[in-house]
Structures are given as C-alpha cells and as structure tokens.
A and B are shown apart, each in its own frame.
Chain A
Amino acid sequence: MFRRSQRRIVIPFLLPALILTGLFFLYPLVRAGIISFEHFSRTGRTSFTGGEQYRKLVDDPSYTRALKNTFLLTFIGACMLFPPAVAVAWALHQKLYGESFFRFVVFAPAVLSTAVVALMWKFIYHPTIGLIDPALRSAGLGALARTWLGDPTTALPAIAFTVVWQGIGIWVVLLSAGFERLPVEVLEAGRVDGAGEWALFRRIMLPMLRDLMRILLVLWVVQSMQSFAFVQIMTRGGPFGSTDVVSTLMYRTAFDQADFGYAAAMGVTLLFVMLALTVIVNKVLKRDVIQY
C-alpha cells in the first residue's frame, strides 16, 4: 500500500524528465539508427539499403580523414586547454588582488556567441588585414607569420585555439570549484612538513583532483568530438579537407547532398567511437577514490 502510493508520487516527478529524454534523446537516436539503413533521394524518398552505408563508410577516405581530424582536434584542444586552465584556476585559488576582475576576464569569452567568436578569430588570423601576422611583422618577427587558416598544418591548431579561448572560462570555474573543495588541513599539513607550493601542487593538489580531471577530460572529449560551428564558420573543413571533422562532413552529406542515410551512418558510428573513447579514458584514469 505504502509502495503504491510512493510510486504514484514519484512518477509525476519523473515524467517531465522522461518525456524530454525520450523526445529529444532516445527518439532521435533510434530514428538516426533507422535512417542509417535507408537511402534518401533529394526529395526525401527512401529505400532500404541494409548495411550498405556502413560498408561505404569503411572505404571512404573522407570519413577516415574527418575522424582523424576529430581526434586531432580533441587531442590538440586538450593540450591547449588543461594546462592553462589548471594554472589559472590554481592562481585564482591564491587569493590574488583583483581576483574577481581576473575571473571576469577569463570567463568573458564564454558568454559571446560561437558565431561572433569564430568570425572575430577568422579576422584576427587573416594574413594581411588580421592582427597576428601584421603584429609579428612590425615586431620584426615576420618569419613567424603564417597563413594560419590557409595552411593545412596550422589550420586545425588555430581552430582548436579558438575553441579553447572561448571555452576556457567554464573549465577554470569547474577547476576552481575543485581547488576550493581541497581540505585546508591536508594542505596545511603539507606546508608544516616543509613542502613548497610547487610540491604541494604536484604531489597533493593534483592527485586529489584526479577524479575531477577525469570527469572534465571525458566532458572535453564528448564536447570537442562534436565540434561543428567553429570549423564550419572558420574554414568549412578546408584547406583541402585538413580541418574537416565528422560533424562538418555529416552536415555537408546531409544538407548539401541530401544523403541523410549516409550522414546518419556517420553519426551513429561517431556515437560508438565516442562511447568507446569515454570508456577507455574512464578506465585508464580511474584510481581508488581518495576520501577527504
């Protein structure tokens, strides 16, 4: 009797979340899976093709290249994001003078729209009318000037930098919360034992933040593997496909060529790749929980 009445109370509370999850996550997921077994004409006529789209994916160098670029963007972005984010979060933890101003400066880009940031950086990277190259030339460092978005070796890192520039504030906030949670007694004990700030950071803080870092890394992997807007606005996947990621290739396949079935197969494959990567990252970085 009690359980029944308890269930009656729980269901209405769960229902909104279940409906939203079903409508915006489960249904699209299942539908994408179904679509990936169909061929679409431009006008939307469909025919069942079985696993043909998946077989095609295996032999498609554009998809392989896009997948490679997606991994690269994730890796380069992680290298650009985490060291400075941890450093800034640590610095903000040190009770600096004007701390709230620095917090504002670091977080400000996060409130700008992606399109604005992408267009702004597209201009900044411009080789002749931008800001970086002319500045380098006027400082006598012309040899370092590059056509950042026009060179296949620098285009992807340049996009990754832009993604990081905009998003770093969020990661700093999350990491700052981690630093704030560190038990003062443990840090004090370290100091009493003669540990310097560097040793304290490396040997006490970082190990204690390991769980948080693992979660943030998984979040970054999931987020960066779905990058679309920056690539689409800044390079459209060029030069010659060197920045093409799975989402931009998927978009072109679906909306330029109206091949929704093939695009869905790309999406489903990416989903499984992301799931696998998430599990691997979780497994590799998982350690015994440190209680504090």
Chain B
Amino acid sequence: MSARARAIMAALSAAFLATAACSGGKGGSSHAASVTQPVKGGPIEAGVIPAKGTPSYNFLRDLANGLEKDYPGTKMTLTFANTEARPGLEQRWRSGKGPDLDYGMFDGTNPNLQDWANDDFLVDLTPYLKQQNPQTGKPWLDSFSPTAQPFMKNKDGKYYAVPTEASLTVLFYNAKIFKDHDIKPPATWDELLTAVDQLKAAGVDPIAVTGLFEPYMGMWSDYLFLRSVGYAKTRAALSDCTGKLDDPGFADGLTKLQQLRDKGAFLKGFQGTDFTAAQASFFQGKAGMILMGSWLVSEMKKSIPPDFQLGAIGFPSLPGGHGDQTALMGGEQLVSLNAKSDVIPLAIEWLKRLTSKQTQTARAKEIGEVSAVNDVGAPPEMPGMDKVMKSASTMVPRYYGIPDSKTKDAVYPEIAKLFFGKSDAQQTLNNLKSNLSRVCGN
C-alpha cells in the first residue's frame, strides 16, 4: 500500500470513528457543580416562552439586564423556546449544543418527557432545591406550590426542572355580556346549557373554539372525561395504553359534548378558524366564553380592548359524574438546566431570581401570568382566578399527556369529528376504541 493510500485509509478510519462516536450514546459528561460554587459572570443562553417584542419578553429582558449588571462579564441571550421552536432546539440538545436553560425538556407527570433526565442531559437540581434560602430560612423547593412539585420530580426522586409559571385551563367568559343579559356564570353542566341558550338569544355565539387545532377542541372532552370518569382511568385509557374505554362515563362525556354541538354552541365558522382568530373573536365580544389556558391573557394582551371585562371560572361540574368535580387541569412551564452548561451557578442564580416571590408577583401584576410559587396572588387581570384556584381540589396535567404519546393521532382527530358533526357520541366512542386498540395493541 502506498503512503498516499495509507494516509487516505487513516483519514477515512478517523472519520468513521468520529461518526460512530457522535451517534447514539447518552448526554454524557455533566459539569457537576458544587451547590456552594460562587456565581461568576459569563455568556449564558436561556430559552424563553414569549416571543420577542411582547410585554412578557420585555419583562424577562429587564430581569436579564439585572443579572448582567450584577455579575460582570455576563451576556445573557434569550432564545425563543415555545412550541414552534422545539424541533430545532431539540436537535441542538441531541448534538450536545442545547442552551444552558430550556423549557419542555422534562415533565415528571409525563413519562414521554423524562428521557432527557434519564439520559443525563439535565442537571439534577435536588441539591440546589434543598439548599436553604438565607432570606426565608426554608429550602428553595418549599417556595413552590405542592401541586407544582410532582411536575418537577422524576421517578427516581430527583428534581430536574422548576416551574416559572403555571397554566390553568379555565372557562373564561365575557363578564360584561353576562351582566348585560343577566346570565349566571355556569357552575354546573345544566347551567352551562342555560347560558348557551341565553347567549344565543342575545345574538352572541356562546363558545369560541378553533377547528384548526385539535388539542384545543380536546380540552372540552378532556374536562368532560375528568368529571365523568376521573383522571387516572382516563389517562390509563387515552394515553398510557394501560386501560380501556369501558367506563360508561366516557359515553356520557361524549354525549354531553354532542349536546353542546347540537345546540349550535360553538363560534360560527369555527371549523375554519385558527386559535388566534378564535381568541380574538372572544375578546371582540363575538363569543361569550372560551375554554383556554391561563396564558390567554398574556398572549392576547395587545389585542384586549381596554374596557373588556374578563371573568374566569372552573370547568362546570357534572352532578352525578364519577370523576373529580372540582379538579383543575393545567400544566407548568418547566425550565431545566443543561448538564453541559459552563455557567451552572449563574444559571441557578437566574432561576432563583425568576422564581422569587418578588419577580413572580410582578409578573402576575404586569403580565398576567399565573404563578406556581406560594403566596403569589392570581393576576389582577383575571378576576375569579383566585377563587378558581382555591376551590380546586387538585391540579392534574392537561391533555393527559396525549400530544407526546403514541395515541396522539388516535384520540383528538375523533373528538374533532364529533365537533364538526361528522360523527355522533356513540360513533366517536367506537372509533376511539378501535383506534386505541390498534395503537396500543390491546
């Protein structure tokens, strides 16, 4: 073999070895930092949920400016990390170049979102969370509401994320329209049907809903199943593939949904309306109610008329239902720390500042975010939210984890068909059974 051929072979072997080394494997070397390590300035990249230019983003930018000022040498980059940006960001994580802090990397209530923690991509936050806060004398962990803590904790008992805001799925209503037409905010299903009739009589579409985003239609069936069947059974059947749709409460929930549809309760033309337009219709007074996450207010802040009177209530109860009548569905916006970060103490400092009672109270007041931190009141722009939170028996994860499960395409498209009038309650149940049986293999 000539010298040139040997050189080529050596280069090729090196290239293949490098390729093999890069593929597969775990997240690898964690820069385990001591909890007592001093905070030093440096370049840091944090994922954020709001888009650039929004009041919510500007709030975070101000907080980042504070960090840069307090720790010389710090240069904080805020990267958009919401749904549309996830594929790109996850690719960065896979290639070992994820941001120092990021959302959507872990959820203790969703087995499909625990891989990053199990494969050592994330910093175990337990020692930091158990460290005493010198100001309060209590561990950092204790500052988070007990309902938020299951979202933060992995099966192995370690914590891999902290919540920077909570999002509760509630029924928002136009308080002015309700007041003007003497309509009572519905606490039970029958009252909801009455409210629908009264709104229709007043010439207002009762419920704003999008037909172009199936999980948002699914919010209705999710809540109905929660009330008529209960969380554990529904989750087992719809997402975890460990249960079946045998409980009569499933048929009952779907029948209730059909009832709403047959009454013409949904926004005119909802089938072709995307979620921003549906939300806008609600704030323009074209619809009386909308079932949505509490992000609605911060997301639509710029489009809400100044004289708009918002009301929020929990999803109506189903008297006689066998599920949880006062449970609230929701989720936490959880941020995790990259195990390969070079600035772990600085990242922890950012998290502590972001989840401090002071910051969270300001965010609730100025931006309208609901907090997962104890003793932070509900946003004043959401009258009724305090009552909803107090009267809730528990908070359970919204969507039952369906969007991240293999049942994703088996459940919500059938619910959409029911909304659209393409199937009735019984057909929907049969289709769900057959789809789930195929996907779950049971």
Q: Which residues of A contact B (CB under 8 A)?
A: 41-46, 61-62, 122, 125-130, 133, 147-152, 235-236, 238-241, 254-258
Report A53 CB to chain B, min CB distance, Å.
14
A239–B271 CB distance below 8 A: yes
Is B16 interfacial (CB 8 A cutoff)?
no
Q: How far is the CB of B338 from chain A (nearest CB, A)?
A: 13
Q: Chain B residue with minimal CB distance to A45?
A: B24
Interface size class of B (residues with CB under 8 A): 35 or more
Question: In whole angstroms, how far apart are the Cα atoms of A209 and B5 in the complex?
Answer: 53
A148–chain B nearest beta-carbon distance, Å? 6
A127 with B112: in contact, given A43-B119, A239-B416 (CB under 8 Å)?
A: no
Q: Please, how many angstroms separate the alpha-carbon atoms of A120 and B422 in the complex?
A: 28
Q: Is the CB of A148 within 8 A of B272?
A: yes
Shortest Cβ gap from B379 to chain A (Å)? 29
Contact B269 A238 (CB under 8 A): no
Contact code string B289-322 (vs A, CB < 8 Å = 1, else 0): 0000000000000000000000000000000000
Number of A-B contacts (CB under 8 A): 96
- Choose one: B25, B212, B270, B404; the contact of A235 (CB below 8 Å): B212
Known contacts A127-B273, A150-B212, A239-B416: A42-B422 contact under CB 8 Å: no
Q: A62-B409, A150-B211, A255-B90 are in contact. Are A126 and B272 (CB under 8 A)?
A: yes
Least Cβ–Cβ distance between A115 and chain B, in angstroms: 12
Determine if B269 and A240 form an interchain contact, defined as CB atoms under 8 angstroms apart.
no
**Given A238-B214, A239-B420, A240-B214, do A46 and B24 touch, yes or no (CB 8 Å)?**
yes
Chain A binding surface, main DSSP class: loop
- CB of A241 within 8 A of CB of B272, answer no
Q: Which of B178-206 contact A (CB under 8 A)?
A: none
Does B27 sit at the interface, judged by CB under 8 A?
yes
Contacts of B27 in A (CB 8 A): 43
Chain B positions within 8 Å of A129 at CB level: 277
Distance, CA A238 to CA B417, complexed state (A): 10
CB of B261 closer than 8 Å to a CB of A: no
- Is A239 a contact partner of B409 (Cβ separation < 8 A)? no
Residue contact A125 to B272, C-beta cutoff 8 Å: yes
Q: A128-B269, A149-B212, A151-B272 are in contact. List 10 more A-B contacts (CB 8 A).
A: A42-B115, A43-B27, A43-B94, A43-B119, A128-B273, A150-B212, A236-B213, A239-B420, A240-B417, A257-B408
A196 → B minimal CB distance (Å): 45
State the Cβ distance, A123 to closest chain B Cβ, in Å.
Answer: 9
Q: Which of B25, B116, B268, B413 contacts A128 (CB 8 A)?
A: B268
Q: Is the CB of B413 within 8 A of A43?
A: no
Cβ–Cβ contact A127 & B409, under 8 A:
no
Return chain B residues, CB-CB under 8 Å to A149: 212, 271-272
In the complex, which of the residues B90, B121, B277 contacts A126, with contact meaning CB atoms closer than 8 Å?
B277
Interface residues of B in 361-412 (CB under 8 A from A): 403-404, 406, 408-409
Residue pair A126, B116 in contact (C-beta under 8 Å) = no
Rounded to whole Å, the gap between the CB of B283 and the closest CB of chain A is 14
Per the 8 Å Cβ criterion, residues 75-118 of B in contact with A are 86-87, 90, 93-94, 112, 115-116
Residue B23 CB within 8 A of the other chain: yes
Nearest A residue to B23 by beta-carbon distance?
Answer: A46
A236-B213, A240-B214 in contact; A44/B269 too (CB < 8 A)? Answer: no
Task: Knowing A125-B272, A147-B272, A150-B271, say if A44 contacts B24 (CB, 8 Å).
Answer: yes
| B24 partner residues in chain A, CB cutoff 8 A | 44-46
Query: Shortest beta-carbon distance, B93 to chain A, in Å?
Result: 7
The answer to whether A127 and B271 touch (CB under 8 A), given A43-B27, A43-B94, A239-B211, is yes
B26 at the A interface (CB under 8 A) = yes
Contact A45 B420 (CB under 8 A): no
Residue B324 interfacial (CB < 8 Å): no
The answer, yes or no, to whether B274 is at the interface (CB within 8 Å) is: yes
